[in-house]
Amino acid sequence: MTCIGNSGELHQEVADAITKDDLVVSAVLSGNRNFEGRVHPQTRANYLASPPLVVAYALAGRCDIDFETEPLGKDSEGKDVFLKEIWPSRTDVDEVVSQVVTKEMFTEIYSNIEKGSEDWQGLEVEKSLNYTWKEESTYIHQPSFFKGLSRDPAPVKDIVNAQCLLNFGDSVTTDHISPAGKISANSPAAVYLKSRGIAPKDFNTYGARRGNDLVMARGTFANIRIKNKMLNGIEGPLTIHVPTNEKMAIYDAAEKYMNAGIQSIILAGKEYGSGSSRDWAAKGPFLQGTKAVIVESFERIHRSNLIGMGILPMEYKDGQNADSLGLTGFEKFSLNLNQGDLKVNQDMVVTVDNGVTFTCRIRLDTEPEVAYFKNGGILQYVLRNLAKN
């Protein structure tokens, strides 16, 4: 019943074999998602099943077994044993549940739930209305979302000669955008943690470090199964820094663009942002400097989350996409945003430096969403309104 990649390490000889021969290996889990790498970054094919079936597949040792016709193994006498022979009856299950799931168990746990463990009780907490940020912490860090915030929003800036950070196909999930699983040993997040004196065994997961924006920005688009069309079939969290034509980690390219004052956008296909409604899938691209995402279609909640972080969601007109327009991601993109004088779902023309122009629909679906975007995001909108009141 593992979740978000917390299944632990594979045996080294297994991991080496997968890498050496580029194997597609599978896993079965009783969880809530089956994205690539969700169980472990090196398991590409992941299947959801009930807990007893997970045990059955483990006994079989493979995922291509036909339980109806193939035995799980042999008994002490060498006879074939089939799943139907050991599958518990409803009565068997009810009997065990009645013995181990008791009223007393819940009463005991919930009577002490606010007390916490000895470790929790031993925490020293400064009595203050404000949280005391500790710069040395690699788990909790004060994010930059409100840095330089003015009482009134500045005019929305046009997108001018923006570079494409990533050019995706269809079905990019929030787990691709902001993975929650283990931090890979050579990733930008790992480099950062090493620089802070953290040993690889203590890297933990992105999910555990979601309170640190410096880690999460580096973990954005860090899924090892991500497919960026700018890399001509190469799989992994890499892109091309267009001005230098260098292949590098996505975070490193984003940082180069930001340091040079260059805006960036993302191109994608259908169902962008599908999967769990992970807020870091919008916060991460914001921290990487993404100004707009142009796609064929969005997952509903992710579109809303992008607006909440001041990133403009845009959709191609029906029948169009990056491929049909001849876009590779190596172009520069410009968009006149009229200083934020925007209308709900209005059409706007995107100009490309190769002479191509195309019309997109801005997916600001309501007047409040227009207001959020003009404020740079929902956080800024709320804070300004609190200040005014």
Q: What is the pLDDT of residues 123-178, one digit of tens each?
A: 888 889 998 899 999 999 999 999 889 999 999 999 999 999 999 999 999 989 99
**pTM exceeds cut of 0.95:** no
Q: What is the pLDDT of residues 288-328, one digit of tens each?
A: 999 999 999 999 999 999 999 999 999 999 889 999 999 99
Average pLDDT value over all residues in the chain: 92
- Is residue 266 a contact partner of residue 290, using CB atoms and an 8 Å limit? yes
Determine the pLDDT at residue 10.
87
Last residue of a domain, one of 88, 108, 128: 108
Domain contains 55: yes
Residues 67 and 174 reside in one and the same domain? no
- Is residue 192 a contact partner of residue 218, using CB atoms and an 8 Å limit? yes
Residue 111 CB partners (closer than 8 Å, separation 6+)? none
Please name the amino acid found at residue 181.
G
Residue 36 CB partners (closer than 8 Å, separation 6+)? 44, 46, 223, 225
Domain contains 230: yes
Number of domains in the chain: 2
Residue range of the domain that includes 43: 12-108
What are the distances in angstroms from CA 322 to CA 117, 254, 343? 54, 21, 25
Does residue 339 carry a pLDDT above 60? yes
- Nearest CA among 283, 213, 304, 281 for reference residue 35: 281
Domain contains 315: yes
- Nearest CA among 9, 52, 10 for reference residue 30: 52
Determine the pLDDT at residue 2.
59
- Nearest CA among 377, 388, 384, 385 for reference residue 143: 377
- Distance CA(191)–CA(184), nearest Å, equals 10
Classify residue 149 by burial, with Cβ atoms within 10 Å: 0-12, 13-18, 19+.
Answer: middle
Domain contains 203: no
Classify residue 270 by burial, with Cβ atoms within 10 Å: 0-12, 13-18, 19+.
Answer: middle
Please name the amino acid found at residue 336.
N
Does residue 33 carry a pLDDT above 70? no
